[in-house]
Amino acid sequence: MNDTVKPAIVYHLQEPIESITATRDTVTGTYYYQIQIEKPQSPTTQKLLVNGIIALVIILCLWLFTRKRYSKKASSYNQFKQTDIYKLMREKGYYSANKKPVFEAVNEQEINELCETVMQIFASFSDFLKNSDLNEKDLQFCCLVKSRLSTLELSEIYCVSQSAIFKRKQKIKESLGFKSDKRTLDAIFDMM
C-alpha cells in the first residue's frame, strides 16, 4: 500500500524539501516519514563571495593602472637622465645625493636648455603649463622644479635663500589653483 504525505505537514517547514521517504513498520503497521531538507547557501555567504570578487577585480584594476602610470613616469625620468643637459648639470654638482655638494654656476642658456628638455619629455606637464597664466620666469621655475632640482639647488641657481624658494613655490602653487592641496609643489608636479 502506498501512502502519501499530506501537504499540510510540508507547508510547516521553512526550508525547501529535497526528498520525502516513507517506511512502514510491519509489526505495528505504523508509517514513518523521513523528510530530507535542502541546505541552501546562505544569502550572506553568496553576497560576501560576490563582493569579495568585485573588490579583487577593483584592486587588480587599480594596481594595473598605477603600475602602468608609474612605469610611464619612471621611463620619462629615465629618458630625462639620459640627456646631455642632465649630465652637464650632474657634472656641475646638481642632482647630487650629497647634502652639501659643490655647485658650479649655471648660465641662462643651460637653464633654457634644461627647461626645453623637460617640456619635450613631459608632454602632459607641458600642456598643463601652457594652459596656465604664469609668466616666462615662473614657467622656467616650474620646469626646474619638475626636473627634480632640490630647494637647495634652486636657491643656488637663483642666488637666493631656500626660504625665498619655498615662498615662490607656495605662490606658484596658489596661482595654479592648488591652494587647498596639502601636497608640495614638487609632489604635485611629480604626479603630472
Task: Encode pLDDT of 8-57 as tens digits.
Answer: 455 555 566 566 676 777 788 777 766 666 666 566 777 778 888 898 88
Of 70-74, 83-87, 166-170, 179-183, the range with the lowest mean pLDDT is: 70-74
Predicted model pTM: 0.58
186 falls within a domain = yes
Angle at 74 between CA 73 and CA 75, to 5 degrees: 90
Domain count, the chain: 3
What is the model's pLDDT at position 17?
A: 59
Hey, what's the torsion of the CAs at 179, 183, 185, 191, to 10 degrees? -120
The three cell numbers of residue 152 are 637647495
Residue 7 confidence (pLDDT) above 60: no
Measured over all CA atoms, what is the biggest interatomic distance in the chain, rounded to whole angstroms? 114
Whether residues 20 and 112 share a domain: the answer is no
Whether residues 71 and 132 share a domain: the answer is no
What is the model's pLDDT at position 73?
A: 56
2 falls within a domain = no
What is the model's pLDDT at position 41?
A: 58
CA gyration radius for the chain?
Answer: 36
Q: Which residues contact 104 (CB under 8 A, 6 or more apart)?
A: 91, 92, 93
Whether residues 48 and 136 share a domain: the answer is no
Q: How far apart are CA 62 and CA 57, in angstroms?
A: 9
For 26, the domain range is 7-37
1 falls within a domain = no
Task: Encode pLDDT of 51-110 as tens digits.
Answer: 888 988 888 888 777 666 655 556 777 888 888 888 888 888 888 777 777 888 888 899
Whether residues 68 and 163 share a domain: the answer is no
CB-CB contact of 162 with 148 (8 Å): no
